[in-house]
Structure formats: C-alpha cells, structure tokens
Structure 1
C-alpha cells in the first residue's frame, strides 16, 4: 500500500483552500443534553455525524476527542470509525485527539491503531504526549513517515497543571516545552511546504515570546471560542508562526447544534475571522 502525500503538504493545501480552522468533535454529556439527546450511543452517533454533515465539507480539519467515544465501549469506537471515515470522505483532514504516549512496543501498538493505513481508525494525524521522553515517540514518528500521516505533540498546553512539567528548566537552561519544540523543528527540517510533525500550543497559554515557534510545522492551537481566545489574539500569541497555526474551536461551534445550518454558519464565521487575521486584514 503506497503512502499518502505527506501530511504537512496535504494540510498546507487544505488550509490555503478552506482556511485553517479545526472543529473539535467533543460529544460529552453536557453537550448531548444541550442538543436534546440522551447520553448513550444513539445520542453519540446523532451528535457526531451531524457535526460531520454540517462542516466536514468546509473546514480544513476535524478533531474527534477519542475519550468521549471510548466511554461507550466497542459501540462508541464503532461510531468513531464512521465519523473518521465520513469526515475524510468530505475532504477534511482528521486529527485524532487521543494524546497517546508510552514506550517501546506499546507505543508502536498505539501508532498502528491510528497511523497504519488499513487500520479502522486511521487518521491523518494523531495527538501524542512526549512526557515519557521525546524519544519514546520514535515508533509513531517512524510509522507516520512511512504512511504519510502526521503527529501533533503536546508542547505548551493551557491546562493549569501543565507548567510544572512544560516550564521546568533542564540542566542546559532550556525549558522542557522549548526542548519539545526544538525536537519538532529537527523532524521538519527541509520539508516543504510544511513539515508533518506539529506542536500543540494553547492559544490561551500566555506570553510565548521566549519560545521559538518556528518549527516548520503546524501548530494546533486549542482555546479559541469558549475558552476565551479570539481570532484577533492569534498574531499576538503566535507572531510570525501564525500562518502555520491551526486554531481549534469546539464548543463555540458545537453549541449551535443540532441545527445543521446554524453549525455551518458558526464554523463559517470562525473560519472567516481567522482567515482575515492570518491574511493581515
């Protein structure tokens, strides 16, 4: 089975065509309730596939949160498989938000579950955690290169617990988060038009002026919308790297369901605002 065109090249093209918006698919119990759905597999499927129907043909990226499907067991994972397939068929790239991280053969197993092209949950990219050491991600990096998939590596997250690890200073004077960014820059060196190994950097994380965000790869930026960041904040937060930022909006779009037209209108509004900011308008 031949590899896909590298994820970075595919992402650059779809971002240029559709704008850089990523819409999360987060079917947690409170959102199901807001939509008038039961917190069961039927509600899960109705919610998730409605979101795909509404926006997968117009946004660059869709990011299902695996945990909210896994909580329903095998039937929930079966829904996730359909969501991934339908979103990709509509032209969106799928980033599986599973934040996997382990060592050795276990990390290889996680990689095969999401990055092997014939896997039921094959996704264009996978979120991973480097906090067992960046080298622990080697099986996922290798398989992503082989199949044309990508990774988004947790670097500078906005959760309040993150700084105790990510801002810790190593013996060489560099923070752990900065070290993760440096590893990603090395992975992406020489790749055009964009490397396939991205960072997760929260849009609400604060002052990033001391960090080198020029990793020649994408930056997945949660926090726009309900978490408080706006499209107008992106150039201030990310500086010259803003063209490679993939802002993630979840509740800001999802709260407009179950009406398909309202979901589309919300996604279009965020996409337009972000496109204008990135273009400097």
Structure 2
C-alpha cells in the first residue's frame, strides 16, 4: 500500500450505517434495458446521467451503494471514469460503497485485484468488494489480508440466488460438508472476536428459503450477509427472518431493480429506498421481539 488509512474496521462502520440509515444496500446497475426505461441512451452520456442521478438521490441516505462494475467496464475507460467518480461522490456523501466485481484468482493477480478496490491509493478504492472463492478459499488471502490492513470488507460468494449456483455451492466435500458450508466456516474464523460485527461477509440469496438447510449452512459467521433477491427476484423483507433466522440482524438486503425502476425521478427513488429500508427494519425488529 502506498498510503496509510485510519478507517475503523468495515464491520463496525457497516453496523453503524445500518443502525442510522436503515439496513439496505441499493445496486447501481446501469444495464441497457434500464437505461432505456429511463429514457436514456445506451452510451457514455446515458451512463453518466443514470449514475449521477442514483448517487444524488441515495448516497446521503442509504447505508450501502453497490455499483456493478461490469455495467461500467463495457464502456471502456470512459465508463471506468464514471465509476471512479460515483465511488468518490457516494463515499463523500456518507454511503458505504460495495464494489460488485466478483473477482477471484491466484497469487499476484488476486493481489492486484485486491489493490484495485481495497488500497486507499487506488482511484477505485471502495469500502468493500465481492469476491469469488472457487479457486479455493486460500486464493482470496491477498484480499482478506489487505481488507484487514485497510479497514475495508470482503463479501465472499457462498449461496447465491441464481439457480445454477447449487451445482458448485451444494457439492459435498470429502468430510461431508458442502462447499458453501465450508466457505461460511472460513468466514466465521476470519471474524472471530470482532465486535460489533466482523468485516468478512458472505453473499447469501434471500430467495433460497429452505434450500439453505440442504446446504448445511450455518449463517452465524459474526459478519454481514449480503442478501440479493429482494424485489424483482421475488423475495420480500418479510421473508428475511424465515430465511436467515437468528442471523437476520446481520443481513444487508440488496435491492436493485425494485428501487431503480422508479427513476429518473429523484423523489421516487428516495421514497422507494426508504420504503424498503423501513420494511426491512420492521421485519428485523418483529423477529427480535418474538
């Protein structure tokens, strides 16, 4: 790292943001069909207008914004420049930025990916990044170590909401544990003794319901659980206590299309995000009172 940082651990910052702003992560996903729905062109001008509007509407009020890197990368260097500006503006407004990059590799390549998103000297420096462990959990060590050093976070794909994921994630290892359960155990070890919440999270789909049991998943990892699937994919905030059980307070529900479809009206984007955050908080509080 070429700079030092005084950031407190990501898990502590995330817990505070969720308590103060509501437990919600909103994606920034400027795919072509959504740009068209907003009346925008599928080019750099449309990308910039879309991204700027989402950041303006939400960065000062939601806990987490999650740009999907692929939708910016497809426009080349000018798209990456838009992403860099979005990250900087979102963090300046107080939102935590989770870069949805799903990187995974070995050795120096993984170290380079980690530096891209988790080194404070990088133009794409974010509060956390999604990573893929399917070259082996140990291949993630450069990202895990840099996250600890820089006060950032890592979200590891564990039980994703896409139906194809079960082919790998539910596979049973020689000792009898599923691949997904193994990933969750690794994360639990990374978060040992962290308070109020660890900085190493898992991606666990909110749509999975009873299939979590089939994977032998223990979600009590003392870390955040990023839960895609709320809204357009069919899950609702009311489903969260049933799916996540005692770990529901650590869930960071991710909503993308459910909020973004209300753009480009800034007030409508804000109202939709507030509604989802309120429904999630109500579901969590109701579960805690039982």
SS in 1 for 2:244: helix
Unaligned 5+ segments in structure 1 are: none
Work out which of the residue numbers 39, 61, 65 in structure 2 matches 1:36: 39
For the residues of structure 1 that align with 2:222 and 2:87, how far apart are their CA atoms?
27
- Whether 2:177 is the aligned partner of 1:174: answer yes
Q: For 1:220-262, what per-residue CA distance to the aligned partner results, in whole angstroms no more than 9, with x for missing partners?
A: 0000000000000000000000000000000000000000001
For the residues of structure 1 that align with 2:255 and 2:161, how far apart are their CA atoms?
14
- Whether 2:258 is the aligned partner of 1:252: answer yes
- Whether 2:193 is the aligned partner of 1:190: answer yes
Q: Counterpart in 1 of 2:234?
A: 228
TM-superposed CA distance for 1:15, in Å, is 0.5
Conservation of the 8 A alpha-carbon contact between 1:3 and 1:146: no
TM-superposed CA distance for 1:2, in Å, is 2.9
TM-score normalized by the length of structure 1: 0.99
Conservation of the 8 A alpha-carbon contact between 1:153 and 1:198: yes
Q: For 1:184-220, what per-residue CA distance to the aligned partner results, in whole angstroms no more than 9, with x for missing partners?
A: 0000000000000000000012312441100000000
Work out which of the residue numbers 149, 152, 155 in structure 2 matches 1:152: 155
SS in 2 for 1:279: helix
Cα RMSD (Å) = 0.8
SS in 2 for 1:42: helix
For the residues of structure 1 that align with 2:145 and 2:86, how far apart are their CA atoms?
26
SS in 2 for 1:178: helix
Q: Counterpart in 2 of 1:129?
A: 132
Q: For 1:65-93, what per-residue CA distance to the aligned partner results, in whole angstroms no more than 9, with x for missing partners?
A: 00000000000000000000111111110
**After the TM superposition, which segments of 4 or more aligned residues of structure 1 sit over 6 Å from their partners?**
none
TM-score normalized by the length of structure 2: 0.96
Matched length: 281
For the residues of structure 2 that align with 1:123 and 1:191, how far apart are their CA atoms?
21
- Whether 2:48 is the aligned partner of 1:45: answer yes
Conservation of the 8 A alpha-carbon contact between 2:209 and 2:242: no
Unaligned 5+ segments in structure 2 are: none
